[in-house]
Amino acid sequence: MRYDSININRKKSLVRSNELDMIAREDMKHMSKVRIGCSEFSNSLYVNTKNKILKELNATEDDWVNPKWQMKNRITTVDEISKYTNLTEEEYENIRIVSKEYRCAITPYYFSLIDFNNPDCPIKLQSFPNILELDEGGQLDPMNEEQSNPSGKITRRYPNKLIINVTNACPMFCRHCQRRRLIGKHDRNSSKEEIDESIEFIKNNETIREVLITGGDALLLSNDKLEEIFEKVSQIGHVDVIRVGTRTLATLPFRIDEELAGLLRKYRVQLSTQFNHACEITPEAVKAIDILVDHGIPVRNQMVLLRNVNDDKYCIQKTNEELHKYRVINYYLFHPKEVKGINHFQVDISKGLEIMKHLEGRTSGMCKPTYVFNAPGGLGKVPLVPMENIERQEDGYKLTTWENKTIFYDFK
């Protein structure tokens, strides 16, 4: 009798297990089509273009892994681009016109990840000037950053945390950058006076417990300059946490070395970065992540949802799983804002919600970031959550599970 019921349960569990296998296999089938950075295919593209660039610039492997060399040899003009790939007359003209309006800069490293046979290559879409950028729709400053600036280079929208913008420079100018009005015509680090004024403001506001050092890309500052800021901020008694924002892990991974990691470790600095597609997670990027995580520095990803780049549930699942594999925390998925010059990256919110619904239960909870939208007017981030998950009813709640099974539950 007892053995029978064990047998029945075992049988039922096996049926369920097979059912789950089918779902997992279906996901795996789709995810196998997503290009990942740690693959032979990606590596062959990389080595091929890298060798072309090294030859053209008469440079060495040592130069290549030197972040200063990478910065100095950024690809910024259509003529430089056309040295490494054939552009049609129209493409040439479009890139030329657009890069006059919005600067172009691509590190040789990032450029080498492009798959030139794929017109929708996510690396190319994020880095090549596109004629659609000249579309007039969208606002310049929808988040009203200009009116969230109480002092120096501070952006404050929350009770106990704020941002100091330490530079407007970035290794690569992302075509989808929501702060592109600040990228301007020239790179400019904030002056010592502006930074000191910002730090003074924090000193005088004991409500501030967390300081985000960002830009631009905060890691374009030298280690000395960074240490000066960390030192001053960490001496403020009421500041508990320093966080740095950088996209170098994706655009200039050679910037991350033992010395920098030691510096971040010394001041217990935490780090936020931005990977938007699995093909950006290359062995070079993984090396940078490993150095940081091995030094005990938490690394969080803040992905941006971008049309054609990653607005696909399997692409995002795969990317987040790759990040999870390498110990990066999937922190945010940003819904893109309507900023002038980036409207061609806009995604419908229903798409984002569908992606979030897909991630529920289909994969590790660690692969499910919080999907957020930065409210207009500088009012802060609003989490966007699939609406059907929980619904108030007369005598309880209707809950919808990851498989869209509904149950009624009266929380006592």
Ligand X SMILES: *Cc1c(COP(=O)(O)O)cnc(C)c1O
CA torsion through residues 146, 147, 148, 151, sign: positive
The piece of 19-27, 114-122, 154-162, 276-284 that touches ligand X (CB under 6 A) is 154-162
Binder of residue 155, out of ligand X, ligand SF4, none (CB less than 5 to 8 A by kind): ligand X
Nearest distance from residue 127's CB to ligand SF4, in Å?
10
Task: Return the closest-CA partner of residue 251 out of 177, 330, 334.
Answer: 177
Amino acid at 410: D
Nearer to ligand X, 158 or 326 (CB): 158
**Would you count residue 381 as binding ligand X (CB under 6 A)?**
yes
- Interface residues toward ligand SF4, by CB under 6 A: 170, 173-174, 177, 179, 216-217, 247
Which of 53, 123, 163, 316 binds ligand X (CB under 6 A)? It is: 163
Q: What is the CA radius of gyration of the chain?
A: 23
Q: Which is nearer to ligand X, 270 or 400 (CB)?
A: 270
Q: Which residue has 């100018």 as its token pair?
A: 173
The CA distances from residue 304 to 11, 156, 207, 352, 364, in Å, are: 44, 21, 30, 11, 20
Q: Which is nearer to ligand X, 46 or 332 (CB)?
A: 332
Determine contact, residues 313/343, Cβ cutoff 8 Å. no
Identify what 212 binds: ligand X, ligand SF4, none; CB under 5 to 8 Å per kind: ligand X
Residue 264 contact, options ligand SF4, ligand X, none, Cβ 5-8 Å cut-off depending on partner type: none
CB-nearer residue toward ligand X: 52 or 161 = 161
- Residue with Cβ nearer ligand X (126 or 155): 155
Decide whether 108 or 369 has the Cβ nearer to ligand X.
369
Which range binds ligand X by CB under 6 A, 48-56, 161-169, 180-188, 305-313?
Answer: 161-169
CA distance 341 to 323: 29
Q: Which of 288, 356, 291, 346 is nearest to 317 (CA)?
A: 356
157 near ligand X, judged by CB under 6 A:
yes
With contacts defined by CB under 6 A, name the span among 153-161, 175-183, 306-314, 400-408 that binds ligand X: 153-161
Rule CB under 6 A: is residue 242 a binding residue for ligand X? Answer: no
Q: Pick between residue 158 and residue 397 the one whose CB is nearest to ligand X.
A: 158
**Closest by CA position to 100, among listed 75, 134, 145:** 134
Closest CA to 307 of 352, 371, 340, 341: 352
Distance in angstroms (rounded) separating the CA atoms of residues 296 and 262: 10
With CB under 5 to 8 Å by kind, the binding choice for 300 among ligand X, ligand SF4, none is: none
Q: Rule CB under 6 A: say whether 162 interacts with ligand X.
A: yes
Q: Which of 106, 166, 183, 212 binds ligand X (CB under 6 A)?
A: 212
Q: How far apart are the first and last CA of the chain?
A: 36
Part of the chain binding ligand X (CB under 6 A), chosen from 61-69, 151-159, 199-207, 278-286: 151-159
Cα torsion angle, 320, 323, 328, 333, sign: negative
Per-residue contact flags (x/-) with ligand X for residues 111 to 150, judged by CB under 6 A: ----------------------------------------
The 8-class DSSP code of residue 337 comes to P
* Residue closer to ligand SF4 (CB basis): 49 or 165: 165
- Where b means 16+ CB within 10 Å and e means fewer, 276-300 reads bbbbbbbebbbbbbebbbebebbbb
Locate all alpha helices (DSSP H) within 171-312, ordered by sequence. 180-183, 192-203, 223-234, 248-251, 258-266, 283-294
By CB under 6 A, tell whether 260 contacts ligand X. no
CA angle 270, 226, 219 (to 5 degrees): 65
303 forms part of the interface with ligand X (CB under 6 A): no
Which residues contact ligand X by CB under 6 A?
A: 155, 157-158, 161-163, 212, 381
